[in-house]
A and B are shown apart, each in its own frame.
Chain A
Amino acid sequence: MSLGFLLRRLLLAIPTLVGVAVIVFVLLRIVPGDPIAMLIGPGATPADIQKLRELYGLDRGLLDQFVLYVGDLIQGDFGVSISLRQDVMELVLGRLPITLELCLAAIVIAILIGGTLAVAGVYWRGRWPEAGVDGVSGFILAIPDFLWALLFILFVVIFAFSGLPISGRLSHEIRFDALTNFYLLESLVRLRFDVFGSVLLHMLLPALSLALPLSAIIARVLKSSLNEAMTQDYVLLARVKGFSRIRIVAREALRNALVPTVTLTGVQFTFLVGGTVLVEKIFSYPGIGNMAIDAVINRDLPLIQGLVLTFAVLFIAVNLLVDMSYAVLNPRMRHG
């Protein structure tokens, strides 16, 4: 992995971000609906509305608005949220860690479930467990993440599982003066295992909802690339060396089968981040997905812009990570 490669990728990210900024700006100006009307409600006078329009710069021409907007962006100023009256940057950065932790947990769960399913399917190739794996992954895949979320809630309510929380992030009985919004990490570092447990428990169902469809995709792709790797000559040689099947799957085939899986997981991760919008809302999870829904309902233009840009940066970062992982997985790509 050369520094040059990284640099080139980072430079390429700039036009992408500019493009996203332009599209977001244009899209939000052409959709109907007056954000100011949403803001102050039915009793306001036209003068009040006019004052607010001036405050947010909505009274000027589109081009002026755009110049203003880009100028602010470059200075790192995303503006002030119309509905929450706070700095957008602060709002988004404050909530981002919550969603990041949730997504990470979902990825870990997806990899564990998907990986296990794939390896089991390959290990018992041609026998009934393989058919079982295919059936299970097909079923999981057929149900989207938000439906899983609703199903889980239904399940908890019907069977009255009081132990499994279905809303919020941390139990109200626990007092935790957090320094950051990375509760999971921070509680671990500060050895507050009660907090850690509670955060984990609250995270379980939303993370699982997000993880399940992804795990099925991982299972399918990993299984087919594992099966392909198992037909390679070096696998044949490993059999002649006298290694057991499970060891051959794990030591010879797995690493070579990972590249397509990682590529796909990277692409799917971006869908997963998108999925947080609905899933967080369903579980009242206070991340940026939840915030995005509120922002849209309130026609909070600056906040929507800030959130969409944040999502874009996230996607670019994930893709960069995926590309970098190739070099680790595939020794042939290390020079170049």
Chain B
Amino acid sequence: MLEAEDLRLSLPDYSRKPLFGPPPLVDILKGVDVSVMPGEALGIVGESGSGKTTLGRTLVRLYKPTGGRIRLGGRDITDLDEPALRPLRPRFQMIFQDPQSSLNPRRTIREIVAQPLHVYGMITDRAAARRRVDELLERVSLTAAHADRYPHELSGGQRQRVGIARAIALEPTLVVADEIVSGLDVSSQAQILALLRELRADMGLALIFISHDLSVIRTVCDRVMVMLDGQAVESGSCAQIFAEPKHAYTRRLLDAIPLPDVDPDWLRTASIVETGEDLRMNIKGSIALVTGANRGIGEAFVAELLERGVAKIYTAARDPSSLTASEKVVPVKLDVTIPGEVEAAAKQCGDVTLLINNAGCNFNAPLFAEDAMANARTEIEVNYLGTLSMIRAFAPVLEANGGGCIVNMLSIIGRVNLPALGSYSASKAAEYSMTQGVRAQLAGQGTLVVGVMPGTVDTRMTPGGETKPPEVATAALDAVEAGQEDVYPGGMAQGVSQGLAADAKAVEKEFAAYLPE
């Protein structure tokens, strides 16, 4: 019926237009797939800014997508211009959120409903038009008495019925309804929803129902798609998604709906602080410290920070002789496992606002290797204790500088247990927990704590790893600038994190088989 693939839409952002040249583009839709079968009802849910309304309008080609394809009944309508679209328009109609502003206040209800009939030449003689309008009004449970009134003389629920009558006048096969019950009272909302169910059954209408309210979607839709930030994070049948939502965001959305049941725990378990957005940090002009700066990911961080216009970087390493100083780069001798050196660094680098705890080690060696005991000790010592001691020393520094950001280089291995790499897994799991604890404690002082969880990274410790160091650094610094708390750079990490959300046991099983060479 309707099919859209990889739909993208970018709009110019005039609020950030430079002096000369075009304004920068903002991505509103970032590759969305939609498909609706004949007679099917698809719910699209999302919060403000998720792109759901834009998606609805793009699907009926009120907007022209900047990428992807839309097919309606097998015909590609992506690039059709308005004259070419016109003969197709009767087949897909749209009902808008605010009936007050989408109905012309100077026309009677009769004129409003009859208008599409006249425009498309469906009806030419007046008597037939009258009959058809009366029929349509009756269809939406309005009486002929309403026909000669003006929109402002009707209640909100009645106006929305007029909107529906106008949309079905041309007997479309698809209707896109955008938040059509959100401004209504419970009683008229329920009536409109019941009406939509009836119309679907009678007319075999396919429906795309856009709403912020999952409860409302459940009452009219067969399938649901959850939108977040211009992307669909989850989609499936209503029965499946409402029973066992897979994506964390869907769960959060469901948990946030206040069902009319008395439940004191519902409030008690709510998060009290607003999510990370407000702690976004500009890297340009900030002063950073990167530990383990002489190797793999550390070097990538330094390069990427310079690229983004950092004011100064302290590059820390156990052996600073391998670091090169420059105008913006100040090498520091620092072994995170030696408390005296950590304290000295905190004193020396009192202007830091961005701390990148990159130093870490992974011996990736068998449990019965010769140095296994020493390796395990070092892994816990560096990965967990070293990072903790850095944070303890630098949290007051960041606070004195008005808040900032701490980036902890974790690993996806911290989220799943790798039996063959017990001490490494444990050190990273402990670091992951600590990251969450520190995040909660430092939020109040205005410090963002980012946890970066890549899969295997192509460094000396794990050569040939899936992800390249610059990708990790880019993803981590993007998170800093976006105020995002957890990042999973690379396909492997993303896969594992989604897998964990879906079926943790299966992921663990898969990892249990891993053995280091």
Contact = CB atoms under 8 A, between A and B. Distances in A.
A335 interface: yes
A8 to B, nearest CB: 6
A8 B21 CA distance: 12
A323 to B, nearest CB: 16
Contact of B16 (A7, A8, A336): A336
A133 B10 CA distance: 52
Nearest to B18: A4
Nearest to B15: A336
Interface string B211-236: 00000000000000000000000000
A18 B318 CA distance: 68
B19 interface: yes
Contacts of A7: 19
B347 interface: no
B15 A4 contact: no
A4 B16 contact: no
B149 interface: no
B328 interface: no
B17 interface: yes
Interface in B40-63: none
Contacts of B14: 336
Contacts of B18: 4
A336 B19 CA distance: 10
Interface residues of B, number: 6
Interface string B1-44: 00000000000001111110000000000000000000000000
A7 B19 CA distance: 9
Contacts of B17: 336
B15 A8 contact: no
A7 B17 CA distance: 14
A336 B14 CA distance: 8
Contacts of A335: 15
A8 B18 CA distance: 11
Nearest to B17: A336
A230 to B, nearest CB: 24
B21 to A, nearest CB: 11
A27 B276 CA distance: 65
Interface in A1-28: 4, 7-8
A87 to B, nearest CB: 38
A336 B17 CA distance: 7
Nearest to A335: B15
Contacts of A336: 14-17
User: Counting chain A CB atoms within 10 Å of each CB, which of B14, B16, B17, B19 scores highest?
Assistant: B19
A4 B14 CA distance: 14
Contacts of B19: 4, 7-8
Nearest to B16: A336
B10 to A, nearest CB: 19
Nearest to A2: B19
A335 B17 CA distance: 10
A4 B17 CA distance: 10
Contacts of B16: 336
Contacts of A4: 18-19
Nearest to B19: A4
B250 to A, nearest CB: 34
A271 B14 CA distance: 33
B24 to A, nearest CB: 13
A4 B18 CA distance: 8
A335 B18 CA distance: 11
A46 to B, nearest CB: 57
B369 to A, nearest CB: 58
A4 B16 CA distance: 12
A268 to B, nearest CB: 29
B118 to A, nearest CB: 39
Interface string A305-336: 00000000000000000000000000000011
A195 B19 CA distance: 48
Nearest to A336: B15
Contacts of A8: 19
Given A4-B18, A336-B15, 7 more contacts: A4-B19, A7-B19, A8-B19, A335-B15, A336-B14, A336-B16, A336-B17
- 4 A-B pairs with least C-beta separation: A4-B19, A336-B15, A8-B19, A7-B19
9 contacts: A4-B18, A4-B19, A7-B19, A8-B19, A335-B15, A336-B14, A336-B15, A336-B16, A336-B17
